[in-house]
Amino acid sequence: MEKEKLFQEIAENVVEMEDEIVEELCEKSLEMGIDPVETINGGLIPGMDKVGQLYEDGEYFLPEVLTASFALNTGIDVLKPHIKQEDDGGKIKVVIGVVEGDTHDIGKNLVKIMGESGGFQVFDLGRDVPLEEFVTVAKENNVDFICLSTLMTTTMGGMKTVIDMLKEQGIRDNFKVIIGGGPISQKFADEIGADAYETDASSAVRRMKAMKGVG
């Protein structure tokens, strides 16, 4: 089977919520020697995008979306151990989480996985994270980057609050703040004074390395 066809099948089976088939197909991608990161970006994520569309069109409801998320995660579990481990990013420390009020964590988990594969040390705070926690954990561990994720317009404001808290405590310049997620844009990042915005997990990792002058 050729790669494009395989990716298409993976995407379709995420949409059809067939976790077992997704699992098999992801194993197959490994056998075929395809870079797991490519399979995530070319198969799993486009599948989830389609799920998002069906949800918006009122054809899918949360049970379908959740079950599709579960299928996607099954695929990621298969691919994750095979993502090329780099160690050039070894000195980079990152705290990451989904801001308070939001429980969408698939995208955040991808950034985390890609970061870890890039050799970062990642402190994952999970989802629906109280805003102060980002600041506390960043200080405690003296991290380089604070990564904030959210998929909802209603919780975007929390990102600004985190930056404001850093300013109030006079430690804004100790950390770089990177933001991402569906409704986030470069414009929003500029508005709230974040250091960077990225659209996907791989670019996020590349950007952080570039900002630290590694890789």
Partner 1 sequence: MDIISRYLNGLEVPKDELTSLERTTLYGKGQAVDRIPCCLDGGETMSYLIGAGIDEYYFSSEIMCNVEEYIHEKFGSDGAGISTSLRGMAEAMGSEIKYTRNNVAQLKKPALKLSEVDNAKLVDIDKDGRLPVILDAVRKVKERLGDKVSVSASVTGPLSIAAMVVGTENLLIGMIKKPQQVHQLMEVIVENNNRLIKRLVEMGVGIGFPDPVSSTALISVEQYRKFSLPYFKRNVDYVKSLGGGCGLHICGTSRKLWEDLRETGIGAFSLDNVEDLEEAKRVLGGKMGIQGNVPPVDVMKLGTPHDVLRSARECIRKGWDSPNGFTLTSGCQMPAGTPEENMQALMDAARIFGRYPLDKSLLED
Choosing among partner 1, ligand B12, none, which partner's interface includes residue 9 (Cβ < 5 to 8 Å by kind)?
Answer: none
The Cα 26–Cα 79 span in angstroms is 7
Q: DSSP 3-state helix, strand, coil percentages of the chain (rounded to 5)?
A: 60, 10, 30
Residues in contact with partner 1, total (CB under 8 A)? 8
Cβ-based nearer residue to ligand B12, 115 or 170: 115
Q: Of 85, 72, 81, 97, whose CA–CA distance to 12 is shortest?
A: 72
Instruction: Using CB under 6 A, pick the residue from 25, 26, 45, 143 that binds ligand B12.
Output: 45
Q: Could you tell me the smallest distance in angstroms from the CB atom of residue 58 to ligand B12?
A: 10
DSSP assignment of 155-212, as one string? GTHHHHHHHHHHHHTT-GGGSEEEEESTT--HHHHHHHT-SEE-SSHHHHHHHHHHHH
> Which 158-187 positions form the footprint of ligand B12 (CB under 6 A)?
178-183
Cβ-based nearer residue to ligand B12, 154 or 186: 154
Residue indicated by tokens 């890039």: 118
Which tokens belong to 70?
A: 């579960």
Residue 177, beta-bridge partner list: 146
> Which 42-81 positions form the footprint of partner 1 (CB under 8 A)?
61-64, 66-67, 70
The Cα 99–Cα 210 span in angstroms is 25
Choosing among ligand B12, partner 1, none, which partner's interface includes residue 117 (Cβ < 5 to 8 Å by kind)?
Answer: none
Residue 179, beta-bridge partner list: 148, 197
Does residue 127 contact residue 105 with C-beta atoms inside 8 Å? yes
Choosing among ligand B12, partner 1, none, which partner's interface includes residue 56 (Cβ < 5 to 8 Å by kind)?
Answer: ligand B12
Cβ-based nearer residue to ligand B12, 63 or 170: 63
Choosing among ligand B12, partner 1, none, which partner's interface includes residue 105 (Cβ < 5 to 8 Å by kind)?
Answer: ligand B12
Residues in contact with ligand B12, total (CB under 6 A)? 37
Contacting residues toward ligand B12, per CB under 6 A: 45, 48, 51-52, 55-56, 62, 65-66, 69, 101-108, 110-111, 147-149, 151-154, 178-183, 198, 200-201, 204
Contacting residues toward partner 1, per CB under 8 A: 17, 61-64, 66-67, 70
